[in-house]
Amino acid sequence: MNDYLEYKGYRVAKDRRYAKTHEWIKVIENNYALVGISDYAQKKLRDIVMVEEPELRRYSKGERITVVESIKSIGDVYAPVDCVVVAWNEDLMDNPMLISEDPYGDGWIVKVMVENKSQLEDLLTPEEYLELIKEEEAGNHT
């Protein structure tokens, strides 16, 4: 079984939900989840050189948690749901390229405690997120 949907080389993991701002969230146990950026987002950023250490605190849905910097641009990482950041992937300090190498695995950015699991239902399914990528790609070819 294929664990990913694909479009033009962009992979979308099937086992999580997505925000329109290209973050993913995957519940790992009870109310705890991992958050990262999608394969699409990391490929748009290109060579990632730094991830700003986030504050371990409560964030409202849509609030900026951290910043991912590449050689050419900066990408904000937003809270996909109301949550408390309880840990972050410290491996990214020494190896921020983990996000590019494995955006859905070792390249996770923060571990959160989800405050309201019903908000997960408001996020995009993998299929809906793939449609968003298709729309954005169509808009980029003007």
For residue 52, what is the domain's CATH number? 2.40.50.100
Question: Is 9 within the bounds of a domain?
Answer: no
The pairs formed by 127-130 with CB atoms below 8 angstroms and a separation of 24 or more are 127/5, 128/18, 129/12, 129/18, 129/38, 130/5, 130/7, 130/12
Question: Is 10 within the bounds of a domain?
Answer: no
Into how many domains does the chain fold? 1
Query: What domain range includes position 62?
Result: 17-120
DSSP letter (8 states) at residue 120: G
pTM here is 0.96
Question: Is 7 within the bounds of a domain?
Answer: no
CB atoms near residue 12 (< 10 Å): 25
Question: Is 6 within the bounds of a domain?
Answer: no
Q: What is the pLDDT of residues 60-98, one digit of tens each?
A: 999 999 999 999 899 999 999 999 999 999 999 999 999
Question: Is 139 within the bounds of a domain?
Answer: no
Question: Is 78 within the bounds of a domain?
Answer: yes
Q: What is the model's pLDDT at position 2? A: 81
